[in-house]
Structure 1
């Protein structure tokens, strides 16, 4: 993966060695670029608005650069990242579409936004002045999006106090106001009344542009939940994140768009043994075989971002059958009970997330078993796991140190 720092350090010998051998690791993430294409177009049709594809956090574990390059090839209107380092990595990889950095800005970094043609989230008059100063020192104009707080209490000017903020931005000589946005706090739940109130607050603040006689910038409010459940929030652009990757944001979410999961997590059996009745498995001896049974070992663990909380409650697919994880998940391995009559050989594929024949384990199901949310499952899968990409245009480049195109 491209180093996310502005001035990359040379790779360590260990990192280079791991990259060189990544193609042989039996555990890997498979990303279906055709599924991404399907989801992008389905969300565009549903929202009837341009899409800002959110690719922060390594594109939700799917691979920042390969995903961004693919979305660019599909004609996406805009990309969104969390940090300036992510934006710089994309620029260095050849991504040319507009990129908005959604996170709060740190004054010493502001000049890097402008130098790399990244759009800036401006969340206060003080931040506006910092951007103006950096733009003036570079002899360029900064492209900014104004951030309003309509209920998250994270960053942004409170919408009811937005008038002076908007006026200062409109009159700025160093900044061009391209967009204005807020973030929905409860849109994953279609029954929540919070979204309607946030929309009301947001539109009331946007009305200040009309009072000033200034052009209305691009208004964007809808995240994945907003796109799926609240069409009134779609406005001028939408910002799907997890939905773009084919995963619903919350158990309360409705599948109002036909989405296809883009990510599969697979491994292969590296050990098989018979565990006698009364013997325990893994750290802490928390699981005891009730009968003679067959247990396999898979070479993946919490060191790869696979949650330890799935110990003795998660499942994997082996030969198209659900099999339980037994004992505590280790840093690099875990064990699976395939039953007294189960069959598996070293090298057999096991599916942790994804489909095997007619059986499937969804990211949403993994999250529920782990007691967390799908976002945490996807973004927790780290760079120890090689990524490979299928589908997409011919010649789609491999852009991850541990990734390749199949």
Structure 2
């Protein structure tokens, strides 16, 4: 199964629409918005785009997003967990996969080699074990080397990188495909980090070693450091139409891909003075009509929206009242004609967009998106019609 074949295996649009009618909550993903964002990034950078689709493609759904991006000519993807890489292969996608997850067992090293997954390494020991797995299987193994240029998270130190890379390139079954690093996202430090990475690459070339694909820019670098594009950029959250920080909207127009919807579970009247939800977090100041929504923080609707969230219902934004619990929250629908089954927009593209909801909840857009429960159905739209659904 490859590229558009993934979408061809999906139910017809009408059947997907019927399924949605029975969902208490679901997420809609606009693939056309993702296309827009990818093309905006390509126009800006002019080099290869290697999407980072870790964390279930930032909550948007790993396999459908990858399949769509493959249709648009994307060749390689970054993932942060080995199970993500395995899911892509199990779905029949033959794209290039760069796995950043550390490996600890020979079984996993062999799985990476067998499935043609490029492994990130930054120690000689990891490279040797990968080489051993490749020798056992009679295959070659591709690697990207992570270089720590100053972030201090993982990677071989920049002043030790050239020596390490020279040694691992001598391993008979290892192919060096690229080197990469990650900005601290502090301008004066970023400049130093870029210089360090470039010096490593220059030193490798002096030693007769091709460093392969050079990359340091993720979403932040794409927006703020044009000199850091090098051979490839690694956008994550920007692909989905969310800017990595407040104020970066002026650099590039993006379109938010995701909307989170639910249905009203129950509607009831409460009298003045009645307490609601755990710990009496809300007491009705007057007679009120309350709608219960069967979505809580288990589903990825943040607990920080307690008494603060804004849901869109019947064309109006209405406040959350009381505690956001594991599976429920309440909204004030006084003055509205609302009944069980009516659709509520929890995360939309207006006053309740991703950035605004995250801000109200006191978290980052990254936390909001990656907290969305993978069990919540995702419905994928192209040209306004549903073309895929996960999980089926």
How far 1:397 moved relative to its partner?
Answer: 5.1
Q: Is residue 235 of structure 1 aligned with residue 230 of structure 2?
A: yes
The answer on 1:337 being equivalent to 2:332 is yes
Cα deviations by residue, 1:159-190 (Å, 9 ceiling, x for unpaired):
11212112113323211111100112226xxx
The reply to whether residue 56 of structure 1 matches residue 47 of structure 2 is: no
Q: Aligned-pair distance for 1:58?
A: 1.1
Match of 1:72 in 2: 70
- 1:215 & 1:115 partners in 2: Cα distance? 25
Please state if 1:346 is matched with 2:336: no
Q: Corresponding residue for 1:125?
A: 124
Deviation sequence 1:106-125 (CA, Å, 0-9, x none):
24311111111100101111
Q: What is the 5 A alignment of 1:89-238? A: 89-108=87-106, 109-186=108-185, 192-238=187-233
Change (3 A) 1:316 1:395: closer
Following the alignment from structure 1 to structure 2, what is the Cα–Cα distance between the partners of residues 156 and 163? 12
* Cα deviation, residue 252, structure 1: 5.1
2: CA distance, partners of 1:389 / 1:75: 19
Q: Indicate conservation of the 8 Å contact 2:237/2:243, yes or no.
A: yes
* Most deviating of 122-131 and 99-108: 99-108
Asked if 1:364 is matched to 2:341, the reply is no
CA–CA distance in structure 1, aligned partners of residues 199 and 228 of structure 2: 13
- 2:325 is paired with a residue of what secondary structure? coil
Distance in 2 between residues matched to 1:214 and 1:325, nearest whole Å: 59
Distance change in 2, residues 1:396/1:342 (3 Å): closer
* Residue 320 of structure 2 is aligned to residue 321 of structure 1: no
Contact 2:149 2:196 in 1 (8 A): yes
Paired with 1:184 and 1:275, the residues of 2 have a C-alpha distance of 52
Q: Give the match's secondary structure for 1:270.
A: strand
**Does the aligned pair in 2 maintain the 1:79–1:100 contact within 8 Å?**
yes
- 1:387 maps to which residue? 378
Q: CA deviation at 1:105?
A: 2.6
Give secondary structure in 2 for the equivalent of 1:378: helix
Whether the 8 Å contact between 1:180 and 1:217 is mirrored in structure 2 is yes
- Give the deviation of 1:89 after TM superposition: 1.1
Unaligned runs of 5+ in 2: 1-17
Q: Give the superposed CA RMSD.
A: 2.0
- How many angstroms apart in 2 are the aligned matches of 1:194 and 1:351? 41
Encode CA deviations 1:282-340: one digit per residue, 9 max, x unaligned.
1110111112222111111112121112111111111222211110012211100134x
2: CA distance between counterparts of 1:246 and 1:140? 39
CA contact (8 A) 2:48 2:233 kept: yes
Equivalent pair of 1:70/1:392 in contact (CA under 8 Å) = no
Contact 2:258/2:348 (8 A) holds in 1: yes
User: Does the 8 Å CA contact 1:276/1:291 hold for their aligned counterparts?
Assistant: yes
TM-score, normalization by structure 2: 0.90
Do 1:56 and 1:80's aligned partners in 2 also have CA atoms closer than 8 Å?
yes
Q: TM-score, structure 1 length as denominator? A: 0.87
Does the 8 Å contact 2:128/2:168 carry over to 1? Answer: no
Q: Distance in 1 between matches of 2:364 and 2:102?
A: 24
The corresponding residue for 1:376 is 367
Aligned to 2:5: none
